[in-house]
Amino acid sequence: MESNRTASKEDEHGSAVQSVEHHPMIKFIELQDKQNDVTEVQIPVPYGNIAGKWFGPKDIRPILCLHGWLDNSGTFDRLIPLLPENVSFLAIDLPGHGYSSRIPNGMAYYQTDCIPLILHIMREYGWSKVSLMGHSMGAIICFIFTALFPEKVDLLIGLDALKPLSYQPERFPQRTSKMVQKFILADIRNQERSEPPSYTYEEMVDRLYEGTAASVSRETCPYLLQRNIKPSRKFPGKYFFDRDNRMKYNVIPGWADSINVELAKRISAPFLTVKAVDSPYAGSKEGFEQTVAVLKESNPKYEVVFVKGSHHVHLTEPENVVPVIVDFLRKHWHKEQDIVSKL
């Protein structure tokens, strides 16, 4: 089957290339993956492949894990190995991220495009239901999917995000028009196939650390960089970010919180929200609290837990998140044999 192939990254021309040279930290992560029984997978899609990392037993249906904006499946590398060994996890790189294929030139990224992507993965593996865990943008996508297809989701874990953002109506047109113009420039640069600015590995760590406002610690930056950078062809010993820059200007759902309330009412599966106390609220605190109140009223299996840490607490301080997730899984996770093994 197509999904059996070992994942590799494609360059701008579609040719397979290695992601990074063997920097000592990258070697360490690769060794850690081997010790944690991680298998690289690829799932065919019409525009290429979706890459992923399968943790744990290969004969049971895994929890599908979605990362945050501009991150990749490496965001779960320090969390999943601390979770129960009898549970499987499939952490994927969303389109344009990590080792996954980019969408065609001229096309824009929409978060809602990941809704049919989840359905595609379910069909590829023969799942009638799906278990979901997402961080930030990934958690928002999982929220939308679960609300649209409540009968297909048997549990949901959202890490430091709950619902789509809400925008002031008077600001939405101007914001969107600016994003579209920036997207056009990024798309033109992609088609020119010019190499982006390159940096030493240590400089890449600094740029990621500063770009996340220190949400990702310098010590844990390599877990995201491993699938996010490529060696420069022009400057030996240097690297450049290889994610699709169009992703910086993806179209994020911007509907009113009244719509989020209606979506929340449709979620009946066991649902855990983990909120980092040192992280700002996506949208507004009021919108978050309103949605939480609706979920608590309509879903007896909903819970929200606050933990100490930043937006990427699951990566930087996974020990703060693990007890909460383990308790939730013990109450709600049930083993299900994988119908179609792709590994």
Among all residues, which ones are annotated catalytic?
136
CB 150 within 8 A of CB 265: no
Closest by Cα among 116, 61, 49, 68 to 90: 61
Gap between the Cα atoms of 223 and 139, Å rounded:
19
* b/e 63-79 (16+ beta carbons within 10 angstroms → b): bbbbbbbbbbbbbbbbb
Question: Which helix (H) or strand (E) is 40 found in, with range?
Answer: strand 38-45
CB 159 within 8 A of CB 137: no
CA distances, 304 to each of 176, 274, 278 (Å): 32, 6, 16
CB 88 within 8 A of CB 60: yes
The angle formed by the CA atoms of residues 170, 175 and 179, to the nearest 5 degrees, is: 160
Torsion of CA 210, 215, 219, 225, to 10 degrees: -70
Long-range contacts of 216-219 (CB under 8 A, 24+ apart): 216/312, 216/315, 216/316, 217/316, 219/316
Name residue 157's amino acid.
I
Closest by Cα among 255, 321, 262 to 283: 255
Gap between the Cα atoms of 199 and 126, Å rounded:
43
Pairing state between β 130-135 and 89-92:
unpaired
Gap between the Cα atoms of 29 and 301, Å rounded:
36
